Structure 1
Amino acid sequence: MTTGRQINYPEYENFLDHLQKKGGPFKFVTAHKHFPVGSKVGTAPKARSLEEIRKSVLESPRVKSVISEETLRRKCPSEDVRKEAEEILDEMSHTFNLYNVRSFGYAVCKAMEKLYDGIYVNEQKLLEIRERSKKDCVIFMPSHKTYFDFLLLSLICFQYDIQLPAIAAGQDFMSMKFMAGVLRRSGAFFMRRSFGTDQLYWAVFSEYVQTHVVNNDRTVEFFVEATRSRVGKSLHPKYGMLQMILEPYLRGSVYDIVIVPVSMNYDKILEEKLYAYELLGFPKPKESTGGLLKAREILNNSHGSCFLTFGDPISVRDHFGVTLHRNTFVCQPDSQFVLDVQAKTEIKKFAHHVVEIHNKNAVITVWSVACMTILQTFDRDDQATLSYSGVYTGVQDLITLLNQLGTVVNIQGNLDKNLRYYLEMHADLFEPFDITASDFPLKFIDFPVAHQKQGVPIKVMERAVSRLILTTYSNGMIHAVDSEGIICAILQNCGFSEIEKVRNEFCWLHNLMKREFVTIPGELPQLFEKTLKILETSGILEVSDGKLEIIDEKNANVLGKLVLPYFYNIEMAFEVFSPKKPIISDLAEVVGTVQKNISDAYQDRLPNTRLSFLSTEPIKNAFAALTDFGIFEKSNSGLQINFGKLQQVKTRLANFTKAQISTSKL
């Protein structure tokens, strides 16, 4: 399967063209709709009322059983616990209303017309999904880059007469007051970020989600990454919601469930600057209606196009086949449903498989390649003034290499026109330039920050904002080269070329970086073989007598340099721990120290140091990797560091990066 998509008619249709053909937003939202009505197995299609959905949850054996258990545990009247269950249900439930959807949809359509030049969707897949939704419950699992994701998906479902989804949204949206009500009436239901050990909440929420699946009331939408990716690439998936969705299938309550991965990509992300500030460690502002109204100024600027690629619908029944035996779960009581180890493993692998499809179907833009090219230039001199001609040549060379590897970059028309289009769209990152000139300088501006953070000067933070924005967009293409780059860097740096040794190192490095480069658990050897074949086919290396040999040094070097900065980043995070302080109270306390070390290294102009390393995300991922490797041991006074294990990890990583890291310790 090729990585990347080319946006061409007739595979992709522009939704905004449809909007105009229908006479504009008002006629679009008031058009008569024919949403298919789903049904429960063995019953005729019937649209349930909100009250019927509510009653089915509260009267379910699971919720009634937990109410009884909580009544005994708390030693209180059952009416009190039932009232609490009703309050939980009222707090989370959507109050879907088509009239509200039409009203809100009008405002959304008007905004989309101002924001975007195009909203592209692969239409044939949507027609297929509509047919499947008549028989089985359809679950949309989109990638998550911006708050606009769920608005766009609902809009497209409305256009193609697909039952609008019930959308799992975080409870923090409820602080938006007016907007929370609008979202609730548009199909959003609200979930806590963490359920903890609240058995009553677990029971009510599980039953609420599953009654939609079993009765096929409407499609369901949730984000497998659980939160927006502020870094422009896929996040490590979460499994709880997916397990909840699949439970009715495992119990035999439904014949099948259809999963639809949706890749959502944007030329310009609305929250790009907000993400950069958040990644530097400045607190995320609370969601509020006032904040949304202030954000209206963004409507004055073009954000290019967005691309929704609907993947092939996946039959849960076909996908899991014999790997999950339903007879194991059918007889379990509702309130005591437990997944065995094999079932959990298979469901986790499936979540990662969905993320893999997101990446395969992602639209890689010229801007993503340009940002990667610019970052590579800054690796040589972070304060350089770039030229358009230099960036153009770098982009052209990198696209040629990507094509050689079988990756598609979406180029509309010629490259020069495309690159100028993106530079003009992102002109707010640069000092003024003449886009019509044959060549012109490109100098990034610094963005204001409110105050310095622990030992990091304001000037460094101000410059870091643009570097973090560049990194977010460049991450949109890293999934196409991460494995290839790792193999090339192993061959160049590690001093061995035997296939078995390279495979072992490849698997170890990917395990270390599993939160940076999402892969399918247990399938790294297969990924190695697949990547090897790509590198062989593209003429970058060859296999002979059980050994690997690079035959295209130039491109192998480029691929290695594309991925090594991700390893330099976590390597600098590892250096923060010192035997002088063998116990730390909390990992969060050392994030600021790592940022200070990175800032110091940058100011001293040490090699292999990027300002984007100040991002809190890879630092936290580095600490999570050390936790996976058993470096931290819990004690009464905090986390004790196993320096023997830590040194083993650092030594093996240093053999791969060949970097000279010099930073202060805790």
Structure 2
Amino acid sequence: MIELQRLWHRLVSRVLDRWLAFRLVEPEPFALDATLPTFYVIARPSLTDELAVERLTRDLDLPGAGEWHSLDRALLPGCFALPRLRGSRGRIRGQHSAHLQQLLDALDNDTTLDAQLVPVSVFWSRAPGKDFGFWKMMAADDWAWSGRLRRLLSVAVNGRHLEAHFGEPIRLRPLIDDPAVTLTQRKVARVLRVHFRRIRARVLGPDISHHRTLMRGVVDSRPVQAAVLEAVAANRSTPAREHRRAERYAREIASNMSYPMLRFCYELLKRLWNRLYDGVDVHGLDAVKAIAGERTLIYVPCHRSHIDYLLLSYVLYREGLMPPHIAAGRNLDMPVIGALLRRGGAFFLRRSFKDNRLYAAVFNEYLHRLIARGHPLEYFIEGGRSRTGRMLSPRPGMLAMTLRSFARDAIRDVAFVPVYVGYERVLESNSYLRELRGGKKKKESPLDLLRVLKHLREPHGRVTVSVGEPLSLAGFLSETVPGWQDDPVSARPEWLSRAVPLLGETLARRINDAASLNAVSLVAMTLLATPHHTIESDLLANHIGLLVRLQKNLPGSQRCQLPTGEPADWIDQAVSLGFVTRQPQALGELITARPEQATLLTWYRNNVLHLFMHLGLVAFAFRNNAAFSLDDLDTLLSPAWPLLARELYFAPPNDPRERLASTLAALTEEGLLQATANGWRRQPGHLESSEHLRLLGQPVQPTLERAYLLLASLLRYPSGDLTREALEEHSRQLAERLTLLAGLNAPEFFDKRLFSGMLETLEQQGWLRVENEHLFYDDTLPRLQMRSRALFDPELRHRLVRLTHQ
């Protein structure tokens, strides 16, 4: 029997050997103990899976899956399937069911023997090849285990697009010898089944084949039925009519994700990105793969472009992860387009539904069921796209609904996955330029994405998708709002109002922590710090190289992704993308930006501004002060950290003095400062290092100017005289006036939300208190303002003081 089985394997293997090919293997490279008998375990009996694993082990130079091992008079194949349970009595049936038991018996009989099990999951083309079509879609894997006919179709159609996922090897001898463990076939099989199911959930996501069942469960749920009865009373309607309205809301909201559409979109998007970008760089997904299948994943990317969600779904699918269900505005639910988006995983929500309790109940129940079933989700915590390039203030809506859902059923942990998307050039450059120059924000339209596709032939450089540190929701709540489990069934628990803003701020910071530097952002950081947006080419190359070195060596910046290549290459890239212009000159080449180029560069500079605030604040202090001791500099700068951190969403240092010392050391090592017996001193003004220090400190100035305007305006009036609204508006008007007097076109400088954030920070730090919307302060705030005067040169300080007294 065994000889016939071997012969059959060899015959089929010869037929398939030249045909099978793997698109993705994880983890890679893979190392095993070659001294031990190695047995590869697959989830279900399948000759094609066995042959695929055999081919893979040869390609990776691993112990062969096609080998046979003789252990204690038992002859066992190198690859076999888990035993299958049949019937209500749990009887084990099938030829493959004996192999695992024989292996355990052999090791139990001979204590000198050892072996290792390696679980392998094989997927037959989640993604179609070059020519996607009906047969490729029908033949690929989903949650329904394929039969012989469908597997034959998979081999023929998708045999060159396989995926394989290895599990951690399991050494059996230590487990058998452990007196605390009674190792049986049932226990080993149970552990392996859990592993296979987790991998399958990670790759395919939860089963999405029961759309109607999910919809019926949402409408028939207790919260929705309670809302139906309320609507009957409020609208003087009938239960049947309100029940139909709930069903209509459910159809309006719900996605109808399908694997064929995901595969279709993957191939379509692959062609789009290859046409649009020079490359898509991905960082940090290993941490997500480690927890996928165990926790419900909620991706929270920054929102910079119309194509953010398309790009993230493509990257996840390409890297072997299930694309998420995506929250989309109802305005995208158009004929044809809306149906396609639903099949790709989009679910739709209205901009506001606080006055429609039935709709709110249906949406909340639908979201809860997605989360409880483990479906990966995606939504933008900023709400809309950032027109300034900065991280926008997180919106509370989806975060609050997610927290309520988790509190209702916290059996399965939720992990937020922050994602930073960095573009060298966005498709919406022209519209952003118009808005940065003061134009009105255009209302978003579903056709906007189609309009920007006309720019496909233009160069767009590279794009980076960088994943930040995942956040466990259970761990976050236990740390920030202890006792949150005490009120799990409340529709709006008391702790929610405290947890939502903290969660939003934490996620925004983690997104920014994963930021990436690229050629355009580096050139923008430097060029916009010059008075006339013109700089010598060699000085620009030296400075952007300095920025990368500082970012690489400064503590706390390990997650920042740095560009490859040399500074000269980065300048060439910025020129080729049309952001700057080379200007030949007899004494050396200049790099300059025209007014419209400089305006657009502010968007790209703002993407990464937060990465240089620790360096920039120290550099700015030395611009107008020749020397500092560590104590004096710490006293001067400590009040500024919370203001900068709140505005730009980076984590303020836990120990400001220690972080300050490391920043001074980094600047000294690069020659920008000189260490003395009493502290640090800036270099003489005629040296290039002095110019580098000035360029490094310039980007901090706008934030400090806004803070000075705010404090000066407040302190002109006695404590308690001004309301919050009046001070925000007055400060905004002063900031606008300052930009006009300086000849600048920078609407972001006088954004009212920035002043609102500053007031909230002053209140959190205890420098202000708010009573009935009026602002009260004590002597601490005037002293703070007097101390901050040392940061500004006399001319700038005089201009700001004159402005606030007009």
CA RMSD in angstroms comes to 4.6
User: Does 229-238 or 615-624 show the bigger shift?
Assistant: 615-624
Equivalent residue letter for 1:282: G
Report deviation, 1:530.
Answer: 3.7
Structure 2 counterparts to residues 139-154 of structure 1, below 5 A: 139-154=298-313
Matched, 1:133 2:286: no
* Equivalent of residue 625 in structure 1, options 746, 751, 758: 758
Matched, 1:303 2:490: no
Q: Deviations over 1:380-430 (max 9, x none)?
A: xx2x654433422332344344445355673323321232123212x2x45
SS in 1 for 2:639: helix
User: Does 24-33 or 73-82 show the bigger shift?
Assistant: 24-33
Q: Which has the larger radius of gyration?
A: 2
Q: Deviations over 1:419-471 (max 9, x none)?
A: 2123212x2x4568689x996444433xxxxxxxxxxxxxxxxx3x4333222
Please name the residue that 2:67 is paired with: none
* Residues 642 and 258 (structure 1), Cα distance of their counterparts in 2 relative to 1, 3 Å cut: closer
Please name the residue that 2:702 is paired with: 565
* Equivalent of residue 664 in structure 2, options 517, 535, 549: 535
* Equivalent of residue 643 in structure 2, options 512, 517, 520: 512
Matched, 1:170 2:329: yes
Structure 2 counterparts to residues 460-499 of structure 1, below 5 A: 463=595, 465-487=596-618, 489=620
* Residues 649 and 168 (structure 1), Cα distance of their counterparts in 2 relative to 1, 3 Å cut: farther
Structure 2 counterparts to residues 296-375 of structure 1, below 5 A: 296-318=453-475, 320-321=477-478, 328-329=484-485, 332-333=488-489, 336-340=491-495, 345=498, 348-375=501-528
Equivalent residue letter for 1:229: S
Equivalent residue letter for 1:283: K
Q: Is the 8 A contact 2:518 2:563 kept in 1?
A: yes
Q: Deviations over 1:122-177 (max 9, x none)?
A: 3xx54664563333322112222212110011112222342221112234434x65
Please name the residue that 1:456 is paired with: none
Equivalent residue letter for 2:395: K
Tell me, in whole angstroms, the C-alpha distance in 1 between the residues paired with 2:463 and 2:131.
Answer: 18
Q: Kindly, what percent of the aligned residue pairs are identical?
A: 21
Q: Is the 8 A contact 2:298 2:378 kept in 1?
A: yes
* Residues 23 and 214 (structure 1), Cα distance of their counterparts in 2 relative to 1, 3 Å cut: closer
Q: Deviations over 1:80-126 (max 9, x none)?
A: 5444433433333223233444444444333212110101123xx54
Tell me, in whole angstroms, the C-alpha distance in 1 between the residues paired with 2:567 and 2:787.
Answer: 41
Please name the residue that 1:215 is paired with: 373
Report deviation, 1:647.
Answer: 7.8
Matched, 1:389 2:550: no
Tell me, in whole angstroms, the C-alpha distance in 2 between the residues paired with 1:325 and 1:543.
Answer: 46
Report deviation, 1:363.
Answer: 1.5
Report deviation, 1:324.
Answer: 5.0
Q: Deviations over 1:38-90 (max 9, x none)?
A: 899xxx97445222222222222222223333444455444454444334333
Q: Is the 8 A contact 2:526 2:695 kept in 1?
A: no
* Residues 199 and 100 (structure 1), Cα distance of their counterparts in 2 relative to 1, 3 Å cut: same
Matched, 1:613 2:746: yes
* Residues 276 and 363 (structure 1), Cα distance of their counterparts in 2 relative to 1, 3 Å cut: same
Q: Is the 8 A contact 2:436 2:746 kept in 1?
A: no
* Equivalent of residue 344 in structure 2, options 170, 183, 186: 186
> Unpaired runs of 5+ in structure 2?
1-27, 30-124, 144-196, 684-689
Equivalent residue letter for 2:210: S
Equivalent residue letter for 1:405: L
Tell me, in whole angstroms, the C-alpha distance in 1 between the residues paired with 2:464 and 2:135.
Answer: 21
Q: Deviations over 1:222-268 (max 9, x none)?
A: 22333322333333333442332233443344232233222221111
With normalisation by structure 2, the TM-score equals 0.63
* Residues 159 and 394 (structure 1), Cα distance of their counterparts in 2 relative to 1, 3 Å cut: closer
Please name the residue that 2:554 is paired with: 405
Tell me, in whole angstroms, the C-alpha distance in 2 between the residues paired with 1:29 and 1:306.
Answer: 33
Q: Is the 8 A contact 1:116 1:306 kept in 2?
A: yes
* Equivalent of residue 206 in structure 1, options 356, 364, 370: 364
SS in 2 for 1:144: coil
Q: Is the 8 A contact 1:177 1:288 kept in 2?
A: no
SS in 2 for 1:376: coil
With normalisation by structure 1, the TM-score equals 0.75
SS in 1 for 2:466: strand
Tell me, in whole angstroms, the C-alpha distance in 2 between the residues paired with 1:282 and 1:588.
Answer: 22
Q: Is the 8 A contact 1:598 1:614 kept in 2?
A: no
Structure 2 counterparts to residues 541-580 of structure 1, below 5 A: 549-551=679-681, 554=690, 559-569=696-706, 571=708
Equivalent residue letter for 2:492: F
Number of residues of Structure 1 aligned to a counterpart in Structure 2: 598
Report deviation, 1:649.
Answer: 8.0
Equivalent residue letter for 1:391: L
* Equivalent of residue 742 in structure 2, options 599, 602, 613: 602
User: Does 71-80 or 159-168 show the bigger shift?
Assistant: 71-80
Equivalent residue letter for 2:370: H
Q: Deviations over 1:6-44 (max 9, x none)?
A: xxxx99xxxxxxx9x98547489956654677899xxx9
* Equivalent of residue 115 in structure 1, options 255, 276, 290: 276
Tell me, in whole angstroms, the C-alpha distance in 2 between the residues paired with 1:597 and 1:358.
Answer: 33
Tell me, in whole angstroms, the C-alpha distance in 2 between the residues paired with 1:166 and 1:71.
Answer: 32
Q: Is the 8 A contact 2:628 2:680 kept in 1?
A: no
* Residues 22 and 589 (structure 1), Cα distance of their counterparts in 2 relative to 1, 3 Å cut: same
Tell me, in whole angstroms, the C-alpha distance in 2 between the residues paired with 1:248 and 1:566.
Answer: 38
Q: Is the 8 A contact 2:325 2:376 kept in 1?
A: yes
SS in 1 for 2:389: coil
> Unpaired runs of 5+ in structure 1?
1-9, 12-18, 446-462, 604-610
Q: Is the 8 A contact 1:115 1:302 kept in 2?
A: yes
Q: Deviations over 1:541-596 (max 9, x none)?
A: 89999xx93355557655433312332256567888998x9889889987995575
Tell me, in whole angstroms, the C-alpha distance in 2 between the residues paired with 1:562 and 1:223.
Answer: 27
Q: Is the 8 A contact 1:96 1:186 kept in 2?
A: yes
SS in 2 for 1:481: helix
Higher relative contact order (CA 8 A, sep 6+): 1
Equivalent residue letter for 1:60: S
Q: Deviations over 1:283-308 (max 9, x none)?
A: 23333354433322210112111111
Q: Is the 8 A contact 1:468 1:615 kept in 2?
A: no
Please name the residue that 2:150 is paired with: none
